[in-house]
Amino acid sequence: MEGQGAIRGIDVAAVTKWFGDHIPQAAPPLSFSLIAGGHSNLTFKLSDVAGHEYVLRRPPLSHVLASAHDMGREHKIISALWPTPVPVPQALGFCADPAVNGAPFYVMAFVPGVVLHDAEIAGRSLDEPRRRACGESFVDVLSDLHAVDVDVVGLGDLAKKEDYIARQLKRWYGQYQQSKTRELPAVDRVHDALKARIPPQGRASVVHGDYRLGNSITDTATGAIVAVLDWEICTLGDPLADLGYVLATWTQSTDPVAGAPGAPSLAPGFPNRDEVLERYARRSGRDVSKIDYYVAFSMWKSACIIEGVYARYVGGALGKTDVDLDQFKKRIESFAELAEQAVARFA
């Protein structure tokens, strides 16, 4: 852990003073360590001399898009969800003044546990019964999130509630057209099929947008999900879009093409996709008969997003990288192929 010396993204003196003024239990001096960085929001773990632990989130140091790195918005979301059954870290404070640390930031409580980024971590951290419990808890938390009344908790003005899928199709297809490096006819065909068959949207709910075990903290003693993280792209809209994303990335060993290679769900013990779908339907009471549409949409959207990232790598916008661009390119093509397979199931 880094101490009081220089650390990129943190003005140690100014942030320490802000803690003393705004976090009542804080006992400076503070020590800082980077948990996650890169082109997404920067996440730091902080500790004080009394043994209290905190997490600080701020925008990245470059490639900042105000809409994608809105700290006040993230703070608002977890603050609103804290009293609900949805497990989130407790929000402790928000600093809107960029003079303090070069950009707005917020502070939340540190939640102990493990983040299951892949099957190796899942296999090492949990035994099979706890993996089963983890998968079930993961589904239950998603159901609880979609049951939140957005107006009651103060999130009704977070975004437009209607026409979520139509807006997403327009947004991501437009970005794909601007960034594509080659022709991928499957992306165009799937877009047209999705646009022609948009299911009616029910009551709008909170849509996390990137709900996966890698964005959750799991209690290793029980397997329960104890915190959902990374609310950067959270919005309001059709909750089945979240479920479609879960199923699209819930890779199984029998899949001929992996939606998410190395996914935690590959570790023995996790429920399979059919069990995930059945549990969500039973617990939420939602009609999931059109779920293949949402799986196709998720696969298609992933192809569009990753093509944009690939284009930035190829164009040098993300600097030097050790990313295997050929594998990156094949991953985009795999998502497009999987999307077309899902379309065939409902077309």
- In terms of Cα–Cα distance, which of 263, 261, 264 is closest to 126? 264
pLDDT of residue 38: 56
pLDDT of residue 37: 60
Triad 235, 237, 239: Cα angle to 5° = 105
Asked if residues 96 and 72 have their Cβ atoms less than 8 Å apart, the reply is yes
pLDDT of residue 183: 92
Half-sphere exposure of 185 (CA within 13 A, CB side): 0
Q: What tokens were used for 75?
A: 């703070």
> 106 in helix, strand or coil?
strand
Half-sphere exposure of 80 (CA within 13 A, CB side): 21
pLDDT of residue 2: 41
Domains within the chain, CATH numbers bracketed: 12-109 (3.30.200.20), 119-346 (3.90.1200.10)
Q: How far is CA 309 from the centre of its chain?
A: 16
Entry pTM: 0.92
> 48 in helix, strand or coil?
strand
pLDDT of residue 67: 47
Residue 129, preceding peptide bond in cis (omega within 30° of 0): no
pLDDT of residue 68: 52
Positions of the chain with pLDDT under 70: 1-6, 37-39, 62-69, 317-321
- In terms of Cα–Cα distance, which of 216, 211, 215 is closest to 235? 211
Asked if residues 139 and 276 have their Cβ atoms less than 8 Å apart, the reply is yes
Q: Is 345 exposed, middle or buried (0-12, 13-18, 19+ CB in 10 A)?
A: exposed
pLDDT of residue 184: 94
Task: Report the C-alpha gap between 45 and 74 in whole angstroms.
Answer: 17
